[in-house]
Amino acid sequence: MKNGQRYEPLTVPRRMILGPGPSSASPRVLRAMSLPIIGYLDPAFFDLIDELTGMLGEVFKTEQRAFSVAGAGSAGMEAGLVSLAQPGDTVIICSYGHFCERQIIMGERLGLNVVPLRTEWGRSMDPGVLIDALKQHPETQLVVAIHAETSAGTIHPIAEFARIAHKAGAMFMTDVVTSLAGCELEFDEWELDFAYSGSQKCLAAPPGISPVAMSERALDYIRNRSKPPTSWYLDLSLIADYWGKDHVAHHTAPVSMIYGLREAVGMALNEGLETRWKRHEANASALRAGLEALNLELPISKGDRLDQLTIVKLPKGVDDVKLRAQLLDEYSIEVGRGLGKFAGEVIRIGLMGESCVPANVFALLNALEKTLPEHGFEVGSGAAAAAASAQLVKNPSPLFTG
């Protein structure tokens, strides 16, 4: 006990977060989250969410419904599955990574007739696989796919998936947790029915709230289904009613999280979405140039890989756990471990939102250059930084001030 108090104020270590998420939160976002709490039915709060609704529409590029689900991206995932299909309905889930498998588990727990389409990890899924599956299952109610699969470092052609699903009479739902505000996403143009994201990646807010967009077609389905969704809390029609013009009371909204989301979305729109997409692409290109200069293998092909998340194959003899622990302990840099089929074989490097700046690229490359020889993998001195610098000269990263 000190000064009559049992507990001192909380402190945590400061990290350079370069893993698959969360990313670092902007100080501006954290300041917004410290503003005074007001009630979730206060007219001033309604003004805030009305503003945020329009802002989220801009980020998703939709003129339909945009709002947020209180909970992490997995809450958005489960809200979509429980709302857009009923127990016994056939739901095709495209699976090419760890988080696709999570969708399958959720769907099965909800009593859906899940048809998993499992394709190779580390490659974008061929739309032809979905065409064949829909021919075999013409009764399909919903098709589900992930746009940017962070466990595998791959991006997938969801616009084509949506077109194929609609042609077969099914709705289309997608995970854009890693892609929102980090690469091209066009909700209306691609005719998506439901897309859920997370606050903690390219938007650079703390985790805990799931921005979503929903088509009028999807909302009409939920309102007219034969039985309401089995989850009251995750019923997207009820959440949409709270965010709508009448603000019908539902759950107690996470007021401070919504402050933070508003500020994060505002920063993304101030920067400009296309500029933000370019920043993620340019810094990822510099990182990959540096990694290749270290003779590290990047197993995901150029046409399939994400800019927000880079998969690096570990050299023979380099232990995943020990390397990541050393980066954290000695350099305060966090990178991600491999998941599923990639467990123990790769590290995952994220450059997202607040963390996506050249200084972080150079800090990580320098740390790897110093660390890898201690694990038995020799690298050339200065080669990585030189390669990254040369790449940034050719393809500069837009300035990000935060």
Residues lower than pLDDT 70 in the chain: 1
Predicted confidence at residue 74, as pLDDT, reads 97
How many Cβ atoms are within 10 Å of 15's Cβ, its own excluded? 13
Residue 6 is predicted with a pLDDT of 86
Class of the 272-394 domain? alpha beta
Fold that domain 27-270 belongs to in CATH: Aspartate Aminotransferase; domain 2 (3.40.640)
Q: How many CB atoms lie within 10 A of CB 287?
A: 28
| Amino acid occupying residue 10 | L
Tokens representing 386? 């030189």
The label of the residue with tokens 């039985």 reads 227
Nearest Cα residue to 402 out of 66, 23, 12, 18:
23
The Cα–Cα gap between 356 and 354 comes to 6
Residue 234 has a pLDDT of: 98
Domain ranges of the chain: 27-270, 272-394
Q: How far apart are CA 208 and CA 258, in angstroms?
A: 10
**What is the predicted pLDDT for the residue at 1?**
62
Output the six-digit token pair for 89. Answer: 């309905």
Model pLDDT, residue 401: 75
Rounded to whole angstroms, the maximal C-alpha distance in the chain is 72
The pLDDT assigned to 3 comes to: 75
Q: Are 200 and 209 in contact (CB under 8 A)?
A: no
pTM of the model: 0.96
27-270 against 272-394: fold identical: no
207 C-beta neighbours (distance < 10 Å), count: 17
